[in-house]
Amino acid sequence: MTYGEQAVGLSFNPSGDEDVKMIKKLYATIIDFCHSARRGEGSCDEVSPEKARLFSIAITEAQGAQMWAVKAITWRLEDD
């Protein structure tokens, strides 16, 4: 598994929901890009400590956004 796939818990999808799988894969791609960039790989060859910190924040925020998106996808109204 890639760093991003681990970060979003790609293998955790008890309901087997295809939308959950898709959103997790999309966020994993974003996180993988940020993870590579903060390490100076790809087009972001010059990485200052501040730039690395900003990519780390982006990863954290992407993880949070992914969790909220999964929450929205799986939200079910309870019958009163």
Residue 3 lies in a domain: no
Q: Give 35-69 pLDDT, tens digit per residue.
A: 999 998 877 668 899 999 999 999 999 999 999 99
On the 0-12 / 13-18 / 19+ scale of CB atoms within 10 A, 63 is: middle
Domain encompassing residue 38:
15-74
The answer, yes or no, to whether residue 32 has pLDDT greater than 90, is yes
Q: What is the mean pLDDT of the chain?
A: 93
Query: The whole model's pTM is what?
Result: 0.90
Question: Can you tell me whether residue 65 is helix, strand or coil?
Answer: helix
The answer, yes or no, to whether residue 80 has pLDDT greater than 60, is no
Number of domains present in the structure of the chain: 1
Residue 21 lies in a domain: yes
Residue 62 lies in a domain: yes
The answer, yes or no, to whether residue 76 has pLDDT greater than 90, is no
Residue 79 lies in a domain: no
- At 79, the pLDDT band (50, 70, 90 cuts) reads low
Residue 33 lies in a domain: yes
Beta strands in the chain (DSSP E): none
